[in-house]
Structure 1
């Protein structure tokens, strides 16, 4: 007997010191201050080039070269460092750096949104949900950076807690706000799949495949194939699974699923 766990959940979405420690680490000799902009610029260049480890190292040098307590320059560098850590897939470090930003630059929804996403990537779904809720309270205009990503992370947290209906409500509200991306439709399809509403799930997966960023969510094709299988349309399921396997030859689970479908 096959179970719903076979659908793919899709992309999911370092507190170095406490605030006092941050201030101490940013207080160094005046002789270094002339280097901080050079370090920051080098970090930005490395970040744009995709060399995230070098970027992080340069941003740390920039912070160490700062000769004052936490100010606008240091906050700017911390933002870049958090972005580099997230892109480097060091989600715990990113979460902690966003935590520092919240401490030294107040509770801003954009920081909470990105800490939400980072926490979700570390598996701290409860913490991610808390950050999303707080960001939503502060973001009265519903346009803070990272909002769409945070909604997906919060929705995944709700699904993990067994609150799929609440997650679906969240996704639908995001859709009503004009948030449109492939992963949102993937999540909506998964919610309907979990309710055994395979026809609606298929519709959401199909809508996701029409989005400009569909290539970033290959699970849409796989999940659509599984939904067709559960619906009893094995020919369509096999066709879609063949399409998925053709582009994801290393997915052994999908290859086994395709062999099964060939026997139906």
Structure 2
């Protein structure tokens, strides 16, 4: 019994590691595993730290990006609000207030060239309607800096100069616009600029210069009723009554045939169609009818002049000048 117990005790000692202090197999093996484990634990801690740092960096980048895009969105939203407010005021005729809002939109537009061109165009229009022609000319100059090959800005400058009575500048701006145009092109504002520049020449009694303008326009395919009417007025002023009658008649024919009314149609037949379609063309029909009658009178074709004036009154109503001419012609 005792021997069995001793063997059991010895076996226990052998199980726990052999001789005391010998650093038996268990201790030696256990020591190696402990060192490797510490290294693994340090490695894991480093990896976790790196991952945490990376997560923080990504989070910061995401926050910065969201903040940047949000700021950009808010800025874009704000400048579009200014633009929309400016256009609304422009439509209502509040031109000064429209310009203020459009200026705010331009200040915040940064490098958005397309947006700036759009807003500047509306600002120039508001300045023109406000009759601040110098400001409008400057706005169109800014537009030309961004779009130097756009002839319409030169034509619109020409309109401004014409309104200011600056005939030479109006002609110069118009001619610069023509040079920018591609062959066969008709840029917006060209015809209005032509008429305004020619009108400024007429106001200054520079009829030869005006006639040169109108003749060039006809060669370029712009010969509409209004241009021929303006030519006729210049010819009347120069006492070229035959030339004037020819111009008025050509203008009249172009106007009515544009409405498929046929050559030689009477004003009474043309008036209804034009009145329903275009107030501007109706007014031109009225003016050409009167001018043709006056040209006949200057050429001593009194019967034709009287017949046309009487029809003029029946279609367009009585006016003092027409009644005076009718009285004169009837007395003859």
Same fold at TM > 0.5: yes
Q: Measure the CA separation in 2 of the matches of 1:120 and 1:256.
A: 33
* Aligned CA-pair RMSD: 3.3
Q: How far apart in 2 are the matches of 1:162 and 1:148?
A: 21
Q: Which residue number in structure 2 is paired with residue 190 of structure 1?
A: 233
Q: Which residue of 1 aligns with 2:199?
A: 156
What pairs up with 1:103-114 in 2 under 5 angstroms?
103-106=142-145, 108-114=150-156
**Does the 8 A contact of 1:129 with 1:153 survive in 2?**
no
Looking at structure 1, the residues matched to 159 and 328 of structure 2 have their Cα atoms a distance apart, in angstroms, of 36
| Superposition TM-score, scaled by structure 1 size | 0.70
Q: What residue number does 1:227 align with?
A: 295
1:68 Cα shift? 3.5
User: Structure 1 residues 150, 234: closer, same or farther in 2, change over 3 A?
Assistant: same
- Tell me the residue number matched to 2:324: 256
| Count of equivalent residues | 230
Q: Which of 210, 213, 216 in structure 2 is aligned with 1:167? A: 210
Match of 2:60 in 1: none
Offset of residue 160 of structure 1: 4.0
Alignment gaps of 5+ in structure 2 = 1-71, 259-279
Contact 2:133 2:164 in 1 (8 A): no
Equivalent residue runs for 1:75-114 within 5 Å? 75-84=117-126, 86=128, 88=129, 90=130, 92-94=131-133, 96-106=135-145, 108-114=150-156
Is the 1:95–1:115 Cα contact (8 Å) retained in structure 2? no
Higher helix share goes to which structure?
A: 2
Query: Per-residue deviation at 1:59?
Result: 5.6
Deviation at 1:236, TM superposition (A): 1.9
Q: Which has the higher contact order (CA 8 A, sep 6+)?
A: 1
- Pick closer, same or farther for the CA change 1:214–1:207 going to 2, 3 Å: farther
Instruction: Report the equivalent of 2:275.
Output: none
Provide the TM-score with structure 2 as the length reference.
0.58
Alignment check: 8 A CA contact 2:293 2:308 kept: yes
For 2:132, what is the secondary structure of its paired residue? helix
SS at match of 1:220: helix
Local SS of the residue matching 2:197? helix
Cα shift readout 1:105-145 (whole Å, capped 9, x = no counterpart): 42542112112123323433333223223323433536332
